[in-house]
Amino acid sequence: MNLTTLGIGIATGIALGGVYSLIGLGFTLVVASTRLFLFVFESVVALGGILAFWFLNDEGWPLAAAVVAICLVGAVSGLLLDITVHRPLIGRVRDMGVAVLVATIGLSIAADAVLSLLFGGDPRQTQAYVSATPFIIAQIPLQWSFVVIVSVLIAIASGFAWSLRHTSIGHQLVALQQDHEGAQLLGVRVSRLTTGVFALAGLLSALAGFLITPLADASATTGSTLIIPAFAAMAVGGFGSFTGAIVGGMVVGLVEGIVPLYANVNAVNPILLGIIVLVLLIRPVGMFGRPDLVREY
């Protein structure tokens, strides 16, 4: 195994980790704000990739217009999930977490079936949103899409961290994460804020589906292949932690990028499972997880 091959594996792992981190950030927003995990966001990831194919390949849209449209559709999808899945169950079921999880698994299966009917069952290669010609650093050929994915993650994570510390909405979100009832007593409009959280989670999911297109073809099942690594990233990084979503995403991505260089690709999932078990044995809430959220689960 030479250093060039290892470098390619690391670069690929970081790019995959960036996508998992974006999906994980969306999940973490919803989990930390509502104590709920909505499996159906995987369908929004797939939708982002399918829209990228339609807008860029079929319609020939400018890249900027396609990205804006994909983000808007993702945000609207998140809003619809809040209105149709989350709100109707509030106060009507004893175990909200289980009810929402089961409902969204069923909805995800139905959504994937609809996407398959509309888009077809075969994966399709989407036009690259950056040059497909790699650039060389230290004799390692790197894809420009890797740079875009990592840059987008850094920009979103930095903006998100700044808003949590310096904006009113960020302060309200922190209060909601720490104490749902206390936030209501302080005057936080929880329903409106939660709707915004769902919209942002949908936007991040659709954006992740678009960004992954140079690495994975557009397909109705793309989201289902990414959801398990993203969930593993949350388990490793810790539920309810935005830092954990990013760190966990990178850990999972690097495992997927490096392990196939030394072992069979089928060894990736057992190694990921071993890492999850090891982390949870040492720290049951994950590396950066919040104990209060874990207790509530």
Q: What is the pTM of this model?
A: 0.90
Question: Quick one: angle between helices 63-81 and 190-211, nearest 10?
Answer: 140
The residues, any chain, with a CB within 8 Å of residue 31's CB and separated by 6 or more, are 37, 234, 239, 240, 293
What CA–CA distance (Å, rounded) separates 234 from 255? Answer: 15
Q: Which domain holds residue 224?
A: 3-296
What CA–CA distance (Å, rounded) separates 137 from 18? Answer: 20
Q: Name the domain count of the chain.
A: 1
Cα first-last separation, the chain: 43
Kindly report, residue by residue over 230-244, the tens digit of the pLDDT.
888 888 888 778 888
The conformational region for residue 286 under phi > 0 = left, psi -120 to 50 = alpha, else beta, is left
Beta partners for 137?
Answer: 140
Q: For the residues 15-44, what does the mean pLDDT come to?
A: 88
* H or E element in which residue 141 lies: strand 140-142
pLDDT confidence tier of residue 297, bands split at 50, 70 and 90: very low
What CA–CA distance (Å, rounded) separates 238 from 168? Answer: 26
Per-residue pLDDT, 147: 93
Per-residue pLDDT, 17: 93
What percentage of the chain has pLDDT greater than the value 90? Answer: 33
**CATH number for 206:** 1.10.3470
Kindly report, residue by residue over 261-294, the tens digit of the pLDDT.
888 888 888 888 888 888 878 887 888 876 665 4
- Closest by CA to 155, choosing from 211, 225, 78, is 211
Cβ-contact 251, 275 below 8 angstroms: yes
